[in-house]
Amino acid sequence: MNVNDSVTKQKFDNLYCCRESILDGLKRTTDMMFGGKQVVVCGYGEVGKGCCAALKAMGSIVYVTEIDPICALQACMDGFRLVKLNEVIRQVDIVITCTGNKNVVTREHLDRMKNSCIVCNMGHSNTEIDVASLRTPELTWERVRSQVDHVIWPDGKRIVLLAEGRLLNLSCSTVPTFVLSITATTQALALIELYNAPEGRYKRDVYLLPKKMDEYVASLHLPTFDAHLTELTDEQAKYLGLNKNGPFKLNYYRY
């Protein structure tokens, strides 16, 4: 059961959680001020969208890189300049990767960054920044505090590398209990569904969580916000062709 791609996981753990943890992770490690800083965010998926929204709101100037033209157009419409990393690498104060890809930030990029540029990773593994390329004799590493390394070039330039390129949000901030609750509920429901499902419903394959369960996870968390859901009348349910208890959307609905 592919729990990672359920709506509640994707939107809440990735988008909404990262919107907060990018700020938290950067503050706890560097005490930097966000206002006026130039930032490039590599990747405009759910994580990238969260990082960009948070930093824009705090007064940073944010550039985005993307390989997918649809996500790229979303970045444009959300007010971010879509660039190639090379175009802005010399001028930015922070580089954040959230692509799920490898070697997005290469040694060549690192060589061209300005003094005291901060480099960190919010993506899914530690491959996005080519940290191995920094383990060469001419560069000096200095651990300035937990999770924060200065990598020093022969001319004195320092790059601030966070968590050695591992996930910033796991290494340098905390995960709110609310997000843990959503993710754990989703996983528990997936297990219950697999256990209870009549033989034959699931074959040897990977499945998405049934939408009704995704909706159930969400409904369990609404009281936290004192949120009041509206119920369909019989007449409305009939008009829409929906069951009053859901599911309320077709499978391909994007939220």
- 97 counts as binding a copy of itself under rule CB under 8 A: no
Q: How far is CA 216 from the centre of its chain?
A: 23
Other C-beta atoms closer than 10 Å to the C-beta of 83 total: 16
Closest separation in Å from C-beta 168 to a copy of itself? 14
Enumerate residues 35-54 that contact a copy of itself by CB under 8 A. 35-38, 54
Closest separation in Å from C-beta 148 to a copy of itself? 14
Closest separation in Å from C-beta 21 to a copy of itself? 9
- 233 counts as binding a copy of itself under rule CB under 8 A: yes
Given the complex with a copy of itself, which of 107 and 221 has the nearer CB atom? Answer: 221
Closest separation in Å from C-beta 152 to a copy of itself? 19
Given the complex with a copy of itself, which of 66 and 149 has the nearer CB atom? Answer: 66
CA 129 to CA 148: how far, in whole Å?
A: 15
x/- track of binding to a copy of itself for residues 148-187 (CB under 8 A): -------------------------xx-xxxx--------
- 135 counts as binding a copy of itself under rule CB under 8 A: no
Enumerate residues 100-129 that contact a copy of itself by CB under 8 A. 100-103, 127
Closest separation in Å from C-beta 161 to a copy of itself? 19
Given the complex with a copy of itself, which of 60 and 171 has the nearer CB atom? Answer: 60
Q: DSSP letters of 144-163?
A: EETTEEEEE-TTS-EEEEEG
The arrangement of strands across the sheet holding 158-162 comes to: 81-82, 61-65, 38-42, 94-97, 117-121, 158-162, 148-152, 140-145
Q: Kind and range of the H or E element at 237?
A: helix 234-240
- 5 counts as binding a copy of itself under rule CB under 8 A: yes
Greatest Cα pair distance, the chain, in angstroms, is 74
- The end-to-end CA distance of the chain, in Å, is 21
- 196 counts as binding a copy of itself under rule CB under 8 A: no
Tokens of 130: 């080519």
The answer to whether 22 and 54 are in contact (CB under 8 A) is yes
- 246 counts as binding a copy of itself under rule CB under 8 A: yes
